[in-house]
Every structure is written in structure tokens, then in C-alpha cells.
Structure 1
Amino acid sequence: MTSENDSPPQEKPDDLARHASKMAKKKAARDKIMAGKSGEKGLVIITTGTGKGKSSAGFGMILRCIAHEMPCAVVQFIKGAWDTGERRLLTTHFGDLCQFHAMGEGFTWETQDRERDVAAAQAGWAKAKELILNPDIRMVLLDEINIALRYDYIDRQEVIAFLRDEKPPLTHVVLTGRNAAPELIEAADLVTEMNLVKHPFRSGIKGQPGVEF
């Protein structure tokens, strides 16, 4: 039960007018900025940092492509051996629009075999180049490639040169994973760093379906 004292305060006419004027000025400024943004370009996009959400952001963009019926592809460099929710969803329901290539065998401390890790990463990069060069594919997600680059499984200068010189003009490429190399960040068009504030793993809670995978 509520009383009159619980009712939200009523805006005064002068306050409403000031708010409307402020928003009109903000819209005019925004419209002016947007009027000068008419070009399209295939972007090199990086999500990196210590926080959770890097791969999740990449798969979010893949789902947007699917919603727009834009052919896309995923290459997983590290978590390829995992049974993840995104892999199930994309391969089961959207295989006609999204190719999914799980090339990794797990983190390096799991395989404990550098030669195998390098071979898997090299195979993943070869597949990635093939997909990026395909003119029908509009976005390619290279999930956890930053980790493979950090451990020198793939030559980072080769990756940078390929994205600069051979990537089709309208193809988007998304690279995820911690510790993105500074020179890769410099070459990218869009970079987002996820910062860790709090994580349940530190409280003894394991990774859970729907949240971590």
C-alpha cells in the first residue's frame, strides 16, 4: 500500500523545458557528428585484458552477423577441445551461416607439449587466412589467438602484415585473448580492454555452464 508521500516528485514546467532544451542540443550535436560518418571499412578488432568477457564479446558480434544473415566464421586457437555453449549453438543451429573450426587442444599447461601446441596454432592460422580471404565471409573471429601469439606459436609480424596487406577491405577480423601485443594493438581499428574487478574463481567457485563456457 502506498501513500501520497510515496509518489514520485512531479517535474516543474521549467525543469521539463530545460531538460527538453538540453536533450535537443545534445541530439543536434550528435547528429552533426554522425553526418560526417559515412564510410564503411572491414575492421581489425581486439578484445584483450585480464577481465572476463573477451570471447563473449567476440561471439556476440558473430551472433549479430548471423542476425543480419552475413556469412561468418570462428577459429578457436586454445579452447578447441572444450565443449562450449557457443560451439553447440553455432554448429547445431547456424552452420549454414557460420563455419566453426576448433583447432586448439587446450591451454599449454594441459598439453605439456610445445610442438603439438605450435602445430595446432599453425594449423589454426592457416585456416584463419583461408577464411579471411574468402570474399563471401564478412567476419572471422580468431578466438584466443592472442595467447598463441604471446607464446610465439605464430609469428605476430606475419599476422600483422597479413591483416594489413591481404585482408579484404570489407572483412572484419576479431582477435581475442589476454596480453595482445602492443604492435598488434597499434595496427587494430578497435581495441577494448576488459579489466578484472572481481571474479568468483578467487572465492573457490569453478567455471559454470552459461557463464564461462
Structure 2
Amino acid sequence: MDRNQKHKIKAQKQKEKVDARVAQAQIEQGIMLVITGNGKGKSTAGFGTVARCVGHGYKAAVVQFIKGQWDCGERNLLEQHGVPFAVMGTGFTWNTQDREADIAAATEVWEQAKIFLNDPQYHLVLLDELTYMLGYDYLPKDEVLAALKNRPEQQSVIVTGRGAISELREMADTVSEIKDIKHAFKAGIKARKGVDW
């Protein structure tokens, strides 16, 4: 048997396995994705999925925790396509250095998040950097978990940020962890507009 025939047999076996798994996956419902870890690209992955959603003609909404009011390429693009944004607007906690103000800002934007999570018109809701709000105890954990659990059945949600708590990981249908192997910033390279933000 030549190399090409061996490859064909191997590929056919792989196809049969994949086809069987596709045939078994018949549940139609929204999913919860958690994208966590110390590596770069968690928000980028979330926004990529929002773009995919909108590209298919579905409605999506975005809630940005932690991020400030600075220029955001994703927001600049997606708002033009009807994607509503709720932005905490205080920036990183090490900049504000005011726990009470951060909690108030988180609570305010969380109120908008709850509206999105309760509205079946949204096929997808991105909760960017929500993990920090739970890790820092800025939002009531039980309330957040209940809102995620009780969202419309066909609505998907993406939670991003480092240090996702165990309850989020357990509740999620898909969990991806992005590992930090190398980062340009650590080598003194400035964050680049249109690439890093």
C-alpha cells in the first residue's frame, strides 16, 4: 500500500469519527463560553465571535468592564452595525485606586448587562472582563451567576478575563484558557493601535 492510500484510509476513519460526533450533537440552545488565562487575546476572541454573530445577521450586545473610555477599534466598528455597548468607563483598577467608585461603576454597567441578558432579541452577549468584577467582589456573585443561568434559552454569552472563578468554569459549556508564552510589551514594545487596541 502506498503513502497516498494510507493517508486516504486514515482520513476516512477520522471523517467517520467526526461525522458520528456531529450526528450526536443535536441540542439547539445558546451556550456559555468562558475565555480566561493570562495570555493576550481573550477580548479579541470575544469580539471576533461578536463580529461573526453580526455577520450572520444576528443581534449582539457588548458590556465592557475595566476598559476605559479610550478609543476602541471594535466599538468603533461594531456600533456602526447596530451593536449596543455598555462601558464601565473607569479604566483599570490600578488607575482609579478607588474601590467604592469602581464598585459603583461596575454596578451601573451591570444593570445594563442584566437588560441584555434578559432580552431574547440578543443572540449573543459579550461580558468583556467580567471575571475581574467577581474576583474583586465588585458585583454580587450569586446575582451574576443567576442572571447567566436564567438568560433566554437561545442566547449565548461570552465571559472574558483572567482568573475566572470556579463557578463560572463549571457553569460554562466551553472554557478556553489562553496561556502567556511571550508578550511584546514585556520586551518594551508599545501597544499598537489597530493591533493591540
TM-score, reference length from structure 2: 0.96
Shift of 1:159: 1.0
1:3 corresponds to:
none
Larger Rg computed on CA atoms: 1
> What does 1:94-113 align with in structure 2 at a 5 Å threshold?
94-95=81-82, 98-113=83-98
C-alpha distance in 1, partners of 2:14/2:187? 44
1:207 corresponds to:
191
Give the total of aligned pairs. 197
**SS across alignment from 1:72:** strand
**SS across alignment from 1:154:** coil
The answer to whether the 8 Å contact 1:104/1:117 transfers is no
C-alpha distance in 2, partners of 1:127/1:191? 25
Shift of 1:172: 0.6
- The CA deviation string for residues 118-145 of structure 1, in whole angstroms up to 9 with x for no partner, is 1111111110110111111111001111
1:6 corresponds to:
none
**SS across alignment from 1:201:** helix
User: Where in structure 1 do 4 or more consecutive aligned residues deviate above 6 Å?
Assistant: none
The answer to whether the 8 Å contact 1:73/1:141 transfers is yes
TM-score, reference length from structure 1: 0.89
The answer to whether the 8 Å contact 2:68/2:92 transfers is no
- The CA deviation string for residues 163-204 of structure 1, in whole angstroms up to 9 with x for no partner, is 22x211110111111111112111111111110000011111
The answer to whether the 8 Å contact 1:104/1:121 transfers is no
1:7 corresponds to:
none
1:86 corresponds to:
74
Shift of 1:103: 2.2
C-alpha distance in 2, partners of 1:158/1:77? 16
1:144 to 104, 129, 154: 129
Shift of 1:82: 2.1
The residue identity in structure 2 corresponding to 1:23 is A
1:124 aligns with 2:113: no
Identical-residue share of aligned pairs (%):
47
> What does 1:32-181 align with in structure 2 at a 5 Å threshold?
32-91=20-79, 93-95=80-82, 98-164=83-149, 166-181=150-165
The root-mean-square deviation of aligned C-alpha atoms, in Å, is 1.2
The residue identity in structure 2 corresponding to 1:203 is A
Shift of 1:104: 2.8
1:5 corresponds to:
none
Shift of 1:46: 0.6
2:181 to 178, 193, 197: 197
Unmatched 5+ residue regions in structure 1?
A: 1-12
1:27 aligns with 2:15: yes
The residue identity in structure 1 corresponding to 2:185 is F
